[in-house]
């Protein structure tokens, strides 16, 4: 079993839809959670960063962390074609060195 | 803020030659940088952790004599692929921890990547 599980997709939605992207993990010691967006042939771009459980909102993006269920989500409201990319979840232990553990990424396509 | 650059963005070389890739943090200091490799439609694979002023830490299965890492300053790490072969062709991405700003220290900021093609 992988430490972090993420549905690879592809996920196709119409423009304006609400998108829900999710990751589950097995290591309860993860404390820092991140979402990255990666366009084709580009490096990942940090979208959201949360510590421990709770919600965080930034514009059209909302990140949720449920540590009791070992489940994190990224919601994208009013999705746009420019949101079409691969979304990677990543997580980190507290004080456990510097490594991030990544999900495999979900490919999202927002269609006109 | 938190911008990481990589150079070159793409390189084509002949088999047997060495290729150097630079990773720079432009607006912050990074005592720790990371080098990843990514194959098409796959996630990032951590190759090594680069520490300023000390030896890099390599992941299991990564040949340290093949992938030489130098982190000579707080803003620059280099990855040299020595005696490159076609199987080394890949997308190489670096990232850096922002140790300048306390609230961002647990995240990594990625460069745009370097596409290497070995003929």
DSSP assignment of A62-100 equals EEEEETTTTEEEEEESS--GGG-EEEEEEEEESSS-S--
* Closest alpha carbon to B23 in B97, B75, B65: B75
Beta bridge partners of A93: A30
What is the mean pLDDT of the segment spanning A70-76? Answer: 97
Q: Is the pLDDT of residue A96 over 70?
A: no
**Distance of residue A105 Cα from the nearest chain B Cα, in angstroms:** 6
Rounded Cα distance, A51 and A32, in Å: 5
Encoding tokens for residue A13?
């939605």
Residue A7: pLDDT band with limits 50, 70, 90: confident
How confident is the model over B61-73, as pLDDT tens digits?
A: 999 999 999 998 9
Considering CB atoms only, which of A44, A92, A107 is closest to B106?
A92
Q: Which residue has the higher pLDDT, B97 or B81?
A: B81
pLDDT at A55: 92
Q: Do A42 and B113 touch (CB under 8 A)?
A: yes
Could you tell me if B35 lies within 8 Å of chain A, comparing CB atoms?
no
Q: Is the pLDDT of residue B103 over 90?
A: no
**Distance of residue B8 Cα from the nearest chain A Cα, in angstroms:** 13
- Residues 35-94, chain A, touching B (beta carbon < 8 A): 36, 41-46, 49, 51, 88, 90, 92
What is the mean pLDDT of the segment spanning A84-95? Answer: 91
* Closest alpha carbon to A79 in A12, A18, A11: A18
């Amino acid at each position: 079993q992988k430490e972090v599980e993420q549905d690879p997709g592809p996920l196709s939605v119409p423009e304006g839809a609400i998108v829900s992207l999710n990751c589950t993990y097995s290591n309860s010691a993860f404390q820092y959670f991140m979402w990255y967006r990666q366009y084709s042939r580009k490096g990942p771009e940090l979208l959201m960063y949360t510590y421990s459980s709770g919600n965080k909102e930034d514009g059209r993006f909302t990140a949720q962390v449920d540590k009791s269920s070992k489940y994190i989500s990224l919601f994208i409201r009013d999705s746009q074609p420019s949101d079409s990319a691969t979304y990677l979840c990543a997580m980190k232990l507290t004080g456990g060195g510097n490594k991030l553990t990544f999900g495999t990424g979900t490919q999202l396509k927002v269609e006109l | 803020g938190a911008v990481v650059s990589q150079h070159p963005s793409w390189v084509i070389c002949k088999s047997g030659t060495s290729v150097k890739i630079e990773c720079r943090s432009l607006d912050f200091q990074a005592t720790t940088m990371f080098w990843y490799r990514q194959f098409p439609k796959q996630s990032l694979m951590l190759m090594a952790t680069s520490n300023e002023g000390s030896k890099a830490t390599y992941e299991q299965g990564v040949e340290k004599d093949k992938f030489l890492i130098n982190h000579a300053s707080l803003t620059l790490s280099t990855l040299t692929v020595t005696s490159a072969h076609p199987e080394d062709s890949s997308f190489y991405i670096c990232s850096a921890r922002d140790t300048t700003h306390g609230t961002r220290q647990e995240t990594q900021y990625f460069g745009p990547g370097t596409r290497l093609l070995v003929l």
